[in-house]
Amino acid sequence: MADNASSKPRLLTGDRPTGPLHLGHLVGSLEARVESQDTHECFIIVADLHTLTTRPQKQFLDDLPRNVRDVVLDLVSAGIDPAKATIYLQSGVPAVYDLSVFLSMLIPKRRLEQIKSLKAMAVAAQLTEDAMTLGLLAYPVLQAADILMARATLVPVGQDIEEHIDVARELAMVFNDLYGEVFPLPQAKLSRTPILPGVNVGVGGTGTKMSKSLGNAIYLKDSKVDVADKLRTIDPDEKHADGQSPLLAYARAFCAPEAAADLARDFDAGKVTGSALHDAVLQSIEARLEPIRQRRSELDSETGLVEEILVDGTIRARTVANRTLQDVRTAMGFESMWSAFVDATSERAKARKRPY
Ligand code: ATP
Ligand code: MG
């Protein structure tokens, strides 16, 4: 397919293959991706390079093949249609690393040091501030390269990384100002559940967002029993410092708005027990998860299908990225400089019978 085959605006978003996808992904970004498939040309990145920002150790790299496969399986099971969307592996698109180098020259280090989510990621990965790598600090720059390589304008993400999309937009503006219009400006899109809290499993608990790395997650592939057990770790009476109840946050995320409001009111009035509140929320979660589980087991049993989806998508993403990189190098003058050097050697190359 040619790069400009579609006239639809582009969407790019994705996930780090640090584990399978969870309910936070579903309501934070994944459902928005599925809804946008007909209005946007969608690029869904499986961001394996981004896992290196907090998990560069060999044992984590050894987990990548399984995690990448899990993420692709989750994406397609949740409704991403590989015939419409490009699901691709970040490390399989080297032009993005080149673009990232160019972009890294256009942002002050201080801007990145101010981003709170990077410190939160370091904490989640049990890294001290001193142990934060250059790669983690530059995470939003590589992310900007992902977004800009696809010339995406819409980026559905959770609130934790909203500021990274600001960085991508700032970088696009600086680049366009310096070298001419190459990039459209990307915009984050938050869902009505921009942060789903975790459950009381793993180290994160309900006090932080549901996260793969913290283990406080209900995974899309969890069995019905596991989902119920995990949800019931949340005490219905629990309230955070801001007065918010984590269980009611789940009600708002998974029940219809009116039903969630009724549940909150009736629970506060003592008309609904904690156990009934758990049950109501579980029923709504299951209505979302059951079809995903079913589709997952069908896809999983088709040998090579998940791999084919990823390979096809990655080859397509490479074409798009190479085109963008060519445009970037042309705008910056690297292409014409290289051509001029090659042209200047042409007589000598002919004489040596080694034309370039
Ligand atoms: P990790 O702990 O490895 O960082 P994660 O659970 O944070 O994993 P990511 O792959 O980093 O998941 O995030 C993928 C996308 O899902 C991002 O857009 C992110 O903002 C969104 N997201 C992740 N967790 C949540 C959540 N709990 N609520 C809403 N959105 C979320
Ligand atoms: Mg994350």
* Ligand of minimum distance to the alpha carbon of 215: 1
Let me know whether 271 and 209 are in one domain: yes
**Which residues, 6+ apart, have CB-to-CB distance to 4 below 8 Å?**
none
Q: Is the CB of 161 under 6 A from ligand 1?
A: yes
Contact 246, 197 (CB under 8 A): yes
Q: Is the CB of 15 under 6 A from ligand 1?
A: yes
Domain count, the chain: 2
d(CA 275, CA 303): 42
Give the pLDDT of residue 353: 82
Which protein residue has the closest C-alpha to ligand 1 atom 5?
Answer: 211
pLDDT surpasses 60 at 2 = no
**Domain CATH for 297:** 1.10.240.10
Q: Is the CB of 206 under 6 A from ligand 1?
A: no
Which protein residue has the closest C-alpha to ligand 1 atom 18?
Answer: 157
Rounded to a whole number of angstroms, the distance between the first and last alpha carbons of the chain is 29
Q: Is the CB of 191 under 6 A from ligand 1?
A: no
Let me know whether 41 and 76 are in one domain: yes
* Ligand of minimum distance to the alpha carbon of 15: 1
Let me know whether 45 and 85 are in one domain: yes
The DSSP result for 268-297, as a single string, is HTTSS-HHHHHHHHHHHHHHHHHHHHHHHH
pTM of the model: 0.95
Q: What is the pLDDT of residues 225-238, one digit of tens each?
A: 999 999 999 999 99
Let me know whether 16 and 138 are in one domain: yes
Q: Which residue type does 101 have?
A: V
Q: What is the pLDDT of residues 339-353, one digit of tens each?
A: 999 999 988 888 888
d(CA 81, CA 75): 9
Let me know whether 131 and 265 are in one domain: no
Question: Which CA distances in Å does 80 have to 15, 35, 126?
Answer: 13, 9, 33
137 closest CA partner among 153, 157, 119: 119
Query: 85 is written with which tokens?
Result: 């969307």
d(CA 138, CA 49): 12
Burial class of residue 346 (count of CB atoms within 10 Å of its CB; 0-12, 13-18, 19+): exposed
Query: 98 is written with which tokens?
Result: 């080149």
Among 301, 319, 344, the domain boundary falls at: 301
**Which residues, 6+ apart, have CB-to-CB distance to 111 below 8 Å?**
167, 170
Question: Which CA distances in Å does 13 have to 49, 125, 148?
Answer: 14, 22, 11
Q: Is the CB of 41 under 6 A from ligand 1?
A: no
Q: Which of 11, 16, 26, 31 to mutate to test the pocket of ligand 1 (most atoms within 8 A of CB)?
A: 16
Give the pLDDT of residue 125: 86
> What number does the ligand 1 atom closest to the CA of 124 have?
2
Let me know whether 2 and 68 are in one domain: yes
Let me know whether 284 and 333 are in one domain: no
Tell me the chain's radius of gyration from C-alpha atoms: 23
53 closest CA partner among 158, 133, 163: 133
Let me know whether 215 and 66 are in one domain: no
Q: What's the gap in Å between 139 CA and the centre of ligand 2?
A: 11
- Choice between 127 and 320, residue whose per-residue pLDDT is larger: 320
Burial class of residue 334 (count of CB atoms within 10 Å of its CB; 0-12, 13-18, 19+): middle
Sign of the CA dihedral running 99, 102, 107, 112: positive
Which protein residue has the closest C-alpha to ligand 1 atom 6?
Answer: 211
Confidence band (pLDDT; 50, 70, 90) for 1? very low
The mean pLDDT of the chain is 95
d(CA 103, CA 115): 17
Q: Which of 29, 119, 252 to mutate to test the pocket of ligand 1 (most atoms within 8 A of CB)?
A: 29
Let me know whether 124 and 148 are in one domain: yes
* Ligand of minimum distance to the alpha carbon of 164: 1
**Which residues, 6+ apart, have CB-to-CB distance to 142 below 8 Å?**
49, 50, 96, 97, 100, 135
d(CA 172, CA 153): 11
Let me know whether 163 and 224 are in one domain: no
CA atoms within 13 A on the CB side of 136: 24
75 closest CA partner among 8, 20, 3, 156: 20
> What number does the ligand 1 atom closest to the CA of 210 have?
27
51 closest CA partner among 73, 19, 95: 19
pLDDT surpasses 50 at 70 = yes
Q: What's the gap in Å between 259 CA and the centre of ligand 2?
A: 30
Q: Is the CB of 210 under 6 A from ligand 1?
A: yes
> What number does the ligand 1 atom closest to the CA of 162 have?
20
Among 259, 277, 301, the domain boundary falls at: 301
Q: Which residues constitute the domain of residue 88?
A: 1-190+303-356
Let me know whether 289 and 181 are in one domain: no
2 closest CA partner among 39, 37, 41: 41
Q: Which of 206, 211, 218, 250 to mutate to test the pocket of ligand 1 (most atoms within 8 A of CB)?
A: 211
Percent of the chain past pLDDT 90, that is, above it, reads 88
Among 254, 271, 301, the domain boundary falls at: 301
**Domain CATH for 36:** 3.40.50.620
Let me know whether 203 and 286 are in one domain: yes
Confidence band (pLDDT; 50, 70, 90) for 5? low
Minimum mean pLDDT range among 32-46, 200-214, 272-286: 200-214
